[in-house]
Amino acid sequence: MSAPRRALLALVALFVSAGCGSPPPLDKRLETLGSWTATMQLAKERHGAGAITVTYATQLRDAADEAFQQASTTIGSSARTRTDSAYAATALDSLRNAIRQLEAEIGS
């Protein structure tokens, strides 16, 4: 098989293995949690304004819940110092509250 074709195959193989990187650093984790908290708040506001359906809002809540579960089990590995853990805890708390508020909004 000619050299360029072998290189192409090696490139593709590398690509497939690229999918699984190392665990993201803490600030990325906090950003993700913040993003989901903001998503919950926007969803609550939009549902209040009658813009989105309960079905859709529930799906958003489930996705946020999944992000919350995943973060709460794995964030320990990225939070080394005590201040990091403090940040992590507050981020997790604000997301949990945001989720609860959305549930209250769509529940009522």
Partner 1 sequence: MKKWGELALGIVTSIGGFLEVGSIATSAQGGAEFGYQLAWVLLLGTLSLAMLMEMTGRLAAVSKRTYADLLRERFGFRFFVVPLVAVFVVSLLVLMSEIGGVAIALQMASGIDFRWWAIPIALLGWFLLWRGNFSIVEQGTAMLGLVAISFAVGALVLHPTWPTLGRALLPSLPSHDHARYWYLAVAILGASISPYLYLFYSAGAVEDEWTIEHLSVNRVTAGAGNVFGGGLAIAALVTAALVLAPRGIRVEHYEQIALLLATPLGRTGFVLFIATLFVTCFGATLEIVLAMAYLLAQGFGWSWSENLKPGKDARFSTSYSVLILLAALPIALGADPLSLTNISMVLTAASLPVTVVPLLVLMNDGDILSSHVNGWPSNLALVVMGLLSLVLLVAALPLQLLGGG
Question: Is there binding between residue 15 and partner 1 (CB under 8 A)?
Answer: yes
Question: Is there binding between residue 1 and partner 1 (CB under 8 A)?
Answer: no
- The 8-class DSSP code of residue 73 comes to H
Binding partner 1 (rule: CB under 8 A), the pick from 6, 23, 25, 34 is 34
Question: Is there binding between residue 49 and partner 1 (CB under 8 A)?
Answer: yes
Can you tell me which residue has the tokens 């989720």? 99
Q: How far is CA 82 from the centre of its chain?
A: 23
Sorted by sequence, the CB contacts under 8 Å of residue 91 that are 6+ apart come out as 29, 30, 33, 34, 37, 71
Residue 52 C-beta: closest distance to partner 1, Å = 5
Q: CB under 8 A: which stretch of 17-25, 80-88, 89-97, 100-108 binds partner 1? A: 17-25
Cα separation of 46 and 53, whole Å?
A: 9
* Sign of the CA dihedral with 97 first, then 31, 36, and 20 last: negative
Q: Which is nearer to partner 1, 66 or 76 (CB)?
A: 66
For residues 67 and 32, the answer to whether their CB atoms sit within 8 Å is yes
Question: Is there binding between residue 84 and partner 1 (CB under 8 A)?
Answer: no
Which residues bind to partner 1, rule: CB under 8 A?
5, 8, 11-12, 14-15, 18-19, 21, 31-32, 34-36, 38-39, 41-43, 46, 49-53, 55-56, 58-60, 63, 67
